[in-house]
Amino acid sequence: MESENLAVSEGEVLKETVRFRGHRMVRSTHPTTIEVTTEEYLTENGDCIIGVGASKGCAQLDQRVKERLRLASARVKMRIIVGGHTFEMNARGDPRLKLSHPHDIVIRKSDFVSDRTLAIKADASSRDLPREMVGLLKNPETAGRLEIEVA
């Protein structure tokens, strides 16, 4: 069985998978961020959150992935997979990343960094997700995956 935490390919691309579930309050309308959280609840203010009950927050990411994300040269490719739908986005790492939040993983279009930030300068945000995918994520029974590749 392949490890959910980390796999290293010959090209030294580090990979990590975060599993999450939908929630009836998923709106996915935020213009600059996208988030998954280990928390089970979601309010209307959480318009960037696409999934709850995540398998990990930033703090639980593999240490090698964190070290790679903290390189100024780090390139981050992410896939959000829900049902038969896949949404791809790209972002950058940064030496300022703390990657210490126990519950949240946030991807940002800006270069703002907090303990919740996984990557910055992303080319998409939660409002860019296909509305059909967002519709699926409004169902608490829907499972999703955030696949992260750091080169």
Q: What is the CATH number of domain 7-150?
A: 2.60.120.630
Angle among Cα 13, 15, 17 to the nearest 5 degrees reads 165
pLDDT at 44 (0 to 100)? 86
Of the candidates 136, 109, 134, 124, the one whose C-alpha atom is nearest the C-alpha of residue 49 is: 134
* Positions in the chain whose pLDDT score sits under 70: 1-11
Residue 50 backbone dihedrals phi, psi, to 5 degrees: -110, -10
List, for residues 77-115, the tens digit of each pLDDT value: 999 999 999 999 999 999 999 999 999 999 999 999 999
